[in-house]
Homo-oligomer: A and B are copies of this chain.
Amino acid sequence: MQKIHISELAKYVGQTITLSGWLYNKRSSGKIRFVILRDGTGILQCIVFKGNVSEEIFNLADRLGQESSIEITGTVKEEKRAPGGFEMDVTDLKLISEAHEYPITPKEHGIEFLMDIRHLWLRSSRQVAIMRVRHRIIKAIRDFFDNRGFTLMDAPILTPAACEGTSTLFETPYFDLGKAYLTQSGQLYAEAGAMALGKVYSFGPTFRAEKSKTRRHLTEFWMVEPEVAFNDLYDNMDLAEEFLEYIVQTVLSERAEELKSLERNTSFLEKVKRPFPRIHYDEAVEILKKNGIDFEYGNDLGGTDETVISNQYDRPVMVHHYPVEVKAFYMKRDPNEPSKAMAVDVLAPEGYGEIIGGSQREDNLDLLLQRIKEHNLPQKAFDWYLDLRKYGSVPHSGFGLGIERTVAWICGLEHIRETIPFPRMIYRNTP
């Protein structure tokens, strides 16, 4: 028997069908019981008239607790005023499993309580909407690269060496090989991929054992990292802006209903269209000074600085040419401006801060070796990475986009904890 879902009701108007799901809410009004059904694809108001069903069924509708699982049969009607545009006149109702005292009620709950029952909280319509947006963002990302000739080449999660110090790394014993560390970025591996397949992306979970308790930090988060052989910094910026435009515009058109239910003001999102402003670090510093920010030239941009800068524009802004001191060892210095790295960060509007960080990579073997020494990194751990410069080095660039920050921005969420099914933070690794 073909199962029918709430999302497909338009095909069944006037027909009597059976749906399976959970009681999301209910109301009474004299001889009528309104049963709000959810089935994961949508919400449907089902109307139980006392005269249309047996007394037993009417009493069942009366008695059922929130989140009881039920099978409900009735006739589908169009009803413009109902959420989703349909209603059901119920002729039969069967109980699958009765629930009582479901812990999440329409009243307000504290966030820690909701996080403790994240496995149930996910059933709430707000969380369902966020998960559906998250999925669509991820699909848009993959479609974007798949349609442009990129090959997916996932980086390993277990990595051998603590390349940049162990302080923010999770570590695990690894058989007779000592320790392994959970990856913080797939980039170095993606670079190897780009030398093999030209255009690649890796997409997987990454980890930071950082003691940051902010609303923008998770210890486990997903990241997509494209890497392209023969792309320079400017190609990289072109790719980043085309990419962000595609993601945002796709989600706006494909998840309009969810964004509406999240009460997202989409006016800023609608403006995410190429070209994005591109400003040199020096210009960024000028903006900060003009806005009365006490900023020392040469520093990295902090959260507040990013907000001040992004507030100057109506769309994402790309800041490039950061001082080499604040950027990673593998970034290429601009030959025309050796104090600056050919790096670019993309700052989201509305104070959402950096969502993309990227750069052209150092492709000269000797300069890369020199950087590794300057950063006091263990050269041996990078032998394989240096091979990429030894054998057929080419200019190449890439960037990383954090999925959860992107979800928070597009959904307009205050805190990143709602952007992933089961968030991990320094004080939480359950459920």
Contact = CB atoms under 8 A, between A and B. Distances in A.
A250 B154 CA distance: 21
A417 B148 CA distance: 28
Contact of A132 (B139, B151, B195): B151
Contacts of A230: 3, 20
A421 B193 contact: yes
Interface stretch (A43-51, A293-301, A368-376, A391-399): A391-399
A131 B176 contact: no
A113 interface: no
A275 interface: no
Interface in A36-69: 39-41, 67-69
Contacts of A68: 392
A166 B431 CA distance: 18
A212 to B, nearest CB: 11
B158 A424 contact: yes
B199 A67 contact: no
Interface string A214-256: 0000011010000001100000000000000000000000000
Interface in A71-114: 96-97, 99, 102
B394 A97 contact: yes
Interface in A315-336: none
Given A205-B204, A230-B20, A429-B158, A131 B196 contact: yes
Contacts of A135: 146, 151-153
A19 to B, nearest CB: 10
B117 A198 contact: no
B426 A97 contact: no
Contact of A158 (B21, B117, B220): B220
Contacts of A27: none
Interface in A373-407: 384-385, 387-395
B123 A196 contact: yes
Given A97-B394, A131-B151, 11 more contacts: A20-B394, A40-B151, A40-B197, A119-B384, A123-B195, A139-B142, A139-B146, A156-B422, A157-B207, A170-B172, A177-B428
